[in-house]
Chains A and B, each alone.
Chain A
């Protein structure tokens, strides 16, 4: 039953996310693309793109959109997909919400707890590896094009990747602007071909 799996999967994702929005993208990707195969790499990448352009926390946006896509891909009516979307975003916040109510006071008093600080110092750098793995898993021929099938797409994809990567490293340019520009370039180049 996809709804039970959706609930369980997104509960797990929410409970083990310790690294902000990008770490959550990594966790969601591992579950919905690699493990459960609810959607293709391309579909997931498109979900991340749209999630970065709309208001709100990226983790909530990706969970909502992924929940919708998983249910509709399983052959259900779009309206049931909407239920899947609400279920995914509800599940992703459920356990952290409960933990927060139970532990907030305790944590406030033990902010400088040495054990907690040690755990988080290791978690913070480990999460970098999670995000790197997600990027590597998304850098597929289906997302970038392949030399044998479409050399033009592969070359343009690599050019866009390198430009955006360097711009995002060096300058504070809005991701929304970069996504929009890449879309315009894609629309023009692949459109006139």
Chain B
């Protein structure tokens, strides 16, 4: 049985040593929680993973919440989430304070001038690398294009776009895709 501190410590390790975002945590979580501690079976882990992906928010934090809750209830969920985000928050805060302090040095601004176009490219690339897994094709590609144009040129809120898209998906399945499924 997982103790509260043990849960905290496991997620602390996972959160502290993963670079590259939430999805990079999956193999570490699997190794720590399924193989080493054997708190969860492989099937349970995959079930919690799919639920965490379906829920809004930050994927890694959702994983910590669902696993902590499954093992030790609400307090377990809180301990797991705290463990998972403590180190990342402290690290980024330290850098935030540090960078602000050295902002006025010309060298720092020169370095960031080189980094900014790189960051824009790193945000643009996933649009294309994620497209295949998202199920993008010639028939539905008008949806993301319309969404991008509405946000970019008309200043429509992305939150509104998400609500409309979710509603659209629900209605599409209810009234249009229904026939296809029956046929």
Contacts and interface: CB of A to CB of B under 8 A. Distances in A.
B151 A59 contact: no
Interface string A1-39: 000000000001011111011101111001000110000
Contacts of A99: 55-57
Interface string A32-69: 00110000001001101111111111111100110011
Contacts of A78: 97, 100
Contact of A16 (B52, B99, B141, B159): B159
Nearest to A79: B97
Contact of B147 (A86, A103, A130): A130
Interface of A is mostly: helix
B116 to A, nearest CB: 4
Contact of A179 (B91, B119, B125, B145): B119
A190 B170 CA distance: 52
B55 A103 contact: yes
Contacts of A190: 110, 113-114
Contact of B148 (A81, A118, A136, A163): A136
Contacts of A132: 124, 127, 144, 148, 152
Contact of A20 (B59, B91, B174): B59
A25 B123 contact: yes
Nearest to B169: A122
Interface string B78-97: 00010011011101110111
A18 to B, nearest CB: 5
Given A125-B140, A164-B117, A178 B22 contact: no
A56 B111 contact: no
Interface string A76-92: 00100110011001001
A102 to B, nearest CB: 10
Contact of A135 (B16, B51, B114, B120): B120
A183 B92 contact: no
Contacts of B2: none
15 contacts: A14-B56, A16-B158, A25-B123, A56-B16, A58-B21, A64-B88, A86-B89, A114-B181, A129-B145, A133-B148, A135-B124, A139-B120, A164-B117, A182-B115, A186-B112
Interface of B: 15-23, 25, 47-48, 50-52, 54-62, 65-66, 69-70, 74, 77, 81, 84-85, 87-89, 91-93, 95-97, 99-100, 106-107, 110-131, 133-136, 140-141, 143-148, 151-152, 155, 157-159, 161-163, 165-166, 168-170, 172-174, 177, 181
Given A49-B112, A55-B19, A186-B115, 5 more contacts: A56-B16, A65-B93, A100-B51, A104-B70, A161-B118
